[in-house]
Amino acid sequence: MKFFPKQLIDGYRTFATQRLPTEQSRYRDLSERGQFPETMVIGCCDSRVSPEVIFDAGPGELFVVRNIANLVPVYQPDSNAHGVSAALEYAVTVLKVKNIVVLGHAQCGGIRAFVDKIKPLTPGDFIGKWMQMFIKPGEVVEQREHETMQDFVVRIEKAAVFRSLENLMTFPFVRERVESGEMQLHGAYFGVAEGSLFVLDRVAKEFISVRDQLQSGG
């Protein structure tokens, strides 16, 4: 197995000897019946922000798609390939998930690249082009007067969640199920350093600390 990363082989060994024995029946059931997750999570590729770890989810419980900065594009039924849209289409129309969660996070490299207006990393400038979907035509995103850089970055990280939720509603099949009450959209934000989770109050338009709510018995 020298041709495969040792860390991954060691990880599988632990999985196969410790976790799998306790969940073998679940895997067999999922193999026979198929998957029926109730929640789709749209998260970032960042290796520190794993939805399955954050939400302590077992196999078959979450349908996850991850990309740079947890972005959702607007609905574009053209001839191009659309990875996020394809995953969304499957989750909503086939799996019929009841919830879609857009999970943003602190120290997001994609957002930082956008804020810093970095030069293209390659001639293709894939990250730069991808991050452009965050901006509406004619929209200007700049640091506010008296706003620290850290506060600016956090504001944009959270704004990316709002924008993705907004873009989700441009998909007819998403809008239809949301308006019928069959599905709900949610926003969340993960603080990497403290392992803290904040969920979006759509009415108040602010992120509420889950840990504070749990400690207060809410």
Look up residue 158 and give its DSSP letter: H
State which amino acid sits at residue 91. A
What is residue 137's predicted lDDT score, i.e. its pLDDT? 83
CATH (one of 3.40.1050.10, 3.40.140.10, 3.30.70.270, 3.40.50.2000) for 36-215? 3.40.1050.10
Q: Is 47 left (phi over 0), alpha (psi -120 to 50) or beta?
A: alpha
| pLDDT tens by residue, the chain, 218 residues | 789 999 999 999 999 999 999 999 999 999 999 999 999 999 999 999 999 999 999 999 999 999 999 999 999 999 888 999 999 999 999 999 999 999 999 999 999 999 998 999 999 999 999 998 888 888 888 899 999 999 999 999 999 999 999 999 999 999 999 999 999 999 999 999 999 999 999 889 999 999 988 887 76
What is residue 218's predicted lDDT score, i.e. its pLDDT? 65
What is residue 214's predicted lDDT score, i.e. its pLDDT? 87
Binding-site residues: 44, 46, 105, 108
DSSP for 88-154, written as a single string: HHHIIIII--SEEEEEEESS-HHHHHHHHTPPPSSTT-HHHHHHGGGSPTT----PPTT--HHHHHH
**Structure tokens given for 153:** 């970055």
| Separation CA 189–CA 181 (nearest Å) | 24
Supply the pTM of this predicted model: 0.94
Residue-wise pLDDT for 124-168, tens only, equals 999 999 998 888 888 888 899 999 999 999 999 999 999 999 999
With beta carbons less than 8 A apart as the criterion, state whether 63 and 89 touch: no
Domain boundaries for CATH 3.40.1050.10 within the chain: 36-215
Per-residue buried b or exposed e for 49-82, using 16+ beta carbons within 10 Å of the residue's own CB: bbbeebbebeebbbbbbbbbbbbbbebeeeeeee
Binding-site residues for Zn(2+): 44, 46, 105, 108
Instruction: Name the 3-class secondary structure at 159.
Output: helix
What is residue 65's predicted lDDT score, i.e. its pLDDT? 98
